[in-house]
Chains A and B, each alone.
Chain A
Amino acid sequence: MSTPAHLALDHGAAPWLFAAALATIAPHFLYQPIWLSAFAGLMLFWGGWLWWQNLHLPNRWLLMLLVIAGSAGIFIEFRTLFGREAGVAMLVMFMAMKLLEVKSQRDAMVVVTLGYFLLLTHFFNSQSIPTGLWLLTAMWIVTATLVRLHGGPASSLRATLRYAGLLSAQAIPFMLVLYLLFPRIAGPLWGLPQDAHSGQTGLSDTMSPGSIAHLAQSSEIAFRVRFDGEIPAKDKLYWRGPVMENFDGTTWRPFPGRYAAEQLEAISPPISYETTLEAHNQRWLLALEAPSGLPAEIGLNGTLTVATRQAINTRQRFRLSASLDYRFNTSENPAVLRRNLSLPAGQNQQTQALAIGWRESEKTPEAIIQKALTLFASEFFYTLRPPLLGENGVDQFLFQTKRGFCEHYAAAFVVLMRHAGIPARVVGGYQGGERNPIDGYLVIRQSDAHAWTEVWLEGRGWVRVDPTAAVSPARIETGIANALPDGADLPAFMQVRSEWLRTLRYRWEAVNNAWNQQVLGYDPKRQREFLSRLGLTDTDWRSMATVLGLCCSLLLAVITAWTLYQRPDQDPAMRLWHKALRQLARRQVNCASWESPLALARRVQHERPELAEPFNQVVAAYLLARYGKNNNDLKSLRTAIAQLP
């Protein structure tokens, strides 16, 4: 099968294909298994070498064998050939291998189309501004490849890139119109594969020593909040996550059964806010305590935690409100109270002895709680790197190591309370947050992850007690960066003391937030809001399609007119010459279209001798300006024209 000459790929086009393949594959190397990256890199290198040496492309059977080997590798790695991640891996492999069999223009078109497709798959991993910019560049390179493929070797590298840039730039208005007006459909259209949202970090629904400390070292943003009014004081900002009641000696877990609905009595007026939650693959919402006035599609789960029906696996926005002072379940189900008094038998006996001693010496539960908090405040240290604990961890922590992070304090406190006969449980979530002065959003990071406790008191219901506040009041009042001694294992960004670096970070995060809110957050709901602001209320898809069609046609007309418009002759000498001819025409001498300047001069000499002298000068200056060696003789032409009567 030989390809007709004009359809065969010319030798000079191959480097463009390699560039396009590299630009679209390379970012995938960050996420693909190392062996696949190496395989793809090797294939690209091989293809490049064959091209460089002008050698024949490899045998089809050899390629088939390599494809089978690669697919087998992918199957072993992902246990499937389908699904999102395995699919992307297959595409990367195909792209690298396709370059080893590109012979014709048609093969090259397949490479380019595959390249555009691969660009889309990057967004599974990231949709940040840098990713967007990089992919815009990659799209430019792929488009330039397309231009080069069809333009042949005649145009230079620069001209090709410039033309591709022009085409892409002209495509941007279409993108904007389509982005705003194309009827948005809320996904997913079909069931997402199991691996659709893997690899997202966040608070887990269990707590064991070290789990939150580990999270606290991440500077990733968990959610952002914009309050309608003032941001409340930091020590009021408890963002409630899962409530954990079951304890097996090391790990705390939520009670798996159902709860009765909460009885919630708000004491302070509600404050409302909007929260933008990053995907964390859990169902809880991390609402400010205590949530009130929830929208219809979300609800409380019986432990005052706001939960959605489906796990949150994309960035989502919610409008919520909260009453900072509240009473919660003043009459609690006895079964729940019993559950919150139970502990694994035979463990942490020193702790048990201590708690029983307190129960005998103190009269009120409040006094027992105070006793525990005083203990923490006196001898304990707050640290991200506590010593490891073995069996009877609470005993070890309370009587030997005395160093811990919030989960240690919460766990020890609940164990103490339960031994002392006070129903108590652990609450996970985030505490505090940092206000970005640029856009006024409160930013809550993974490093703000926190664990605190709740005790149930007769007549007051569940009351929040944060033992960490006793150990390190700074943690609650100002944040983790000030709560830990210098040189602790905090993420690098938190150790930044320089003012302008901090401002820079605020700016960057504000830009990112705007990007997330305005660009990435443009969903069907936002689209409806946008359209109603344009005056298109109760839009159905038909009216939207009409508006979209009108806008696109208008754009097409503008771009077509702009592209096809023949710009007038820009040669300045020519322009001046036409000016001279117009002056001449006013004196009834018209230059015929076939007449050369010299012929016209002869005719003027003959017909209008009085004009001959100045006009001859104009002709001489014009010929010199237009055909002379020196291109800047325009000045003398201008003077000559000025002297025409």
Chain B
Amino acid sequence: MGVVASLKQKLFRWQSDGTAPLRLGQRRIFIIPTRGGLLYALALIVMLLGAINYMLALGHALVFLLAGLGITGMVHTFRNLYGLVITPGRCAAVFAGEMAHFQLTLGNDRPTARLALELEAEPGQLVITAVDSEKSTKISIPISAEKRGWLDLPRVRLSSRYPLGLFVAWSYLQPAMRCLVYPRPHHSPLPAPVAMPASGEQNGDGGQEDFAGFRARQPADSPRHVAWKASARDTGERPLLVKQFAGGAQVEMQLDWTLIDPALSPESRLSILAGWVISAEAAGCSYGLRLPNQEIPRHAGAAQQRRCLEALALFQV
């Protein structure tokens, strides 16, 4: 596999240098007959034999015309990609488990439209698009983001069978594009607030003041919050219950790596932290994030959320 891959690499120069924008030249475009093209060729051979056998002069002419059509079809399929200008766009950050959408702009400076361009980055995930004459089209290539961290745009296969479908021309694109993937958020109750707002007429313990009910314990819950009495009343195998408190209005929180059960895997802890960041932002809290090697001071707002999530996404375990 490794040998084949490196051979392919050498043979076809699949890796583009990633500089943008990229204009497809003939060295980047490959072309072979499709299955339909082979059927067509087979039909032509049979037709030629028929024309020879029955001595049909116009039969010869028809076969030769169709052979010429196949050849011009090949040139035009090649042309459909040739000279296409690909400009990488941006890619908004996503959470793991979502689809990342890499944006590319396909530019056509020819006075004829380019139809039926197919882009495929992951097997089966096909984007079909067209670019009008002297126009450009923005497309986004969906890639499923599995893991947090940087997600590089994999090699994209840009192919086309237009106009006749007898040949398929393709090119491999690899613009230097990457997408930040945040950890998959695990939604769990927020930890206890640590501080009152500066201008606080807030109640003493913030989110631990007003008892709001019980709920099932989740791994992120501190053992201090377990309602041991209520849990003891339950027979059966129901999980432990924790007391739930409604926090005060403008609370401050420190989302700390150490607050989470160290028995959990680091990725799960990051997931829980990501969930906290989202919940804290949604609740309008001011929050800070503390990781083993990094600390983000308390703040609120979209920028803070992005900062925290970025830190989580790129955290090196």
- Report which A residues bind B (CB closer than 8 A): 6, 84, 105-106, 109-110, 113, 116-117, 119-120, 123-124, 127, 131-132, 135, 139, 143, 146-147, 149-152, 154-155, 159, 163-164, 167-168, 170-175, 178-179, 182, 184-190, 192, 196, 314, 519-523, 552, 556, 559-560, 563-564, 566-567, 570
Contact = CB atoms under 8 A, between A and B. Distances in A.
Contact of B76 (A120, A132, A167): A167
B58 A139 contact: no
A151 B128 CA distance: 11
Given A150-B116, A171-B69, 10 more contacts: A123-B54, A123-B59, A135-B58, A150-B161, A167-B163, A168-B69, A172-B68, A174-B65, A178-B64, A519-B61
Contacts, number: 171
12 contacts: A113-B40, A135-B62, A139-B65, A146-B163, A150-B163, A171-B67, A174-B67, A189-B53, A190-B53, A519-B57, A559-B72, A566-B83
Nearest to B128: A6
Interface in B1-60: 35-36, 39-40, 43, 46-47, 49-60
Contacts of A135: 58, 62
Nearest to A126: B58
A560 B77 CA distance: 11
Given A113-B40, A187-B52, A559-B75, A521 B68 contact: no
Interface residues of B, number: 52
Contact of A187 (B54, B128, B130): B54
Interface string B124-135: 001010100000
A106 B36 contact: yes
Contacts of B47: 116-117, 120
Of A84, A139, A147, A164, most buried by chain B (CB within 10 Å of CB) is A147
Interface in B154-197: 161-165
Interface stretch (B92-100, B106-114, B226-234, B268-276): B106-114
A169 B36 CA distance: 22
Nearest to A6: B126
A84 B130 CA distance: 45
Given A120-B50, A178-B68, A151 B57 contact: no
A167 B55 contact: no
A187 B59 CA distance: 13
B45 to A, nearest CB: 11
A391 to B, nearest CB: 45
A564 B83 contact: yes
A155 B71 CA distance: 22
A523 B109 CA distance: 48
B121 to A, nearest CB: 15
Contact of A188 (B54, B61, B128): B54
A39 B57 CA distance: 31
A559 B163 CA distance: 16
In terms of DSSP, what is the predominant structure of the interface of chain A?
A: helix
B73 interface: yes
Contact of A522 (B57, B59, B110): B57
A152 B130 contact: yes
A185 B63 CA distance: 15
Contact of B62 (A120, A146, A164, A189): A120
Given A179-B61, A190-B53, A116 B76 contact: no
Nearest to A143: B69
A169 to B, nearest CB: 9
Contact of B39 (A110, A150, A521): A110
Contacts of A185: 52
B75 A563 contact: yes
Contacts of A170: 68, 72, 75
Given A109-B39, A179-B60, A566-B109, A167 B65 contact: no
Contacts of A152: 115-116, 128, 130
B71 A113 contact: no
B299 interface: no
Given A117-B43, A123-B59, A171 B54 contact: no
B76 to A, nearest CB: 6
Of B35, B36, B69, B128, most buried by chain A (CB within 10 Å of CB) is B69
B165 A150 contact: yes
Contacts of A519: 57-58, 61
Contacts of B58: 123, 127, 131-132, 135, 519-520
B75 to A, nearest CB: 5
B304 to A, nearest CB: 37
Contacts of B243: none
Contacts of B46: 117
A110 B38 CA distance: 12
Contacts of B65: 139, 168, 171-172, 174-175
Nearest to A109: B36
A173 B68 contact: yes
B164 A120 contact: no
B80 to A, nearest CB: 10
B162 A150 contact: yes
A141 to B, nearest CB: 13
Contacts of A167: 69, 72-73, 76, 163-164
B59 to A, nearest CB: 5
B84 to A, nearest CB: 12
Contacts of A139: 62, 65-66
Contacts of A564: 75, 78-79, 82-83
A155 B115 contact: yes
A310 to B, nearest CB: 12
B68 A174 contact: yes
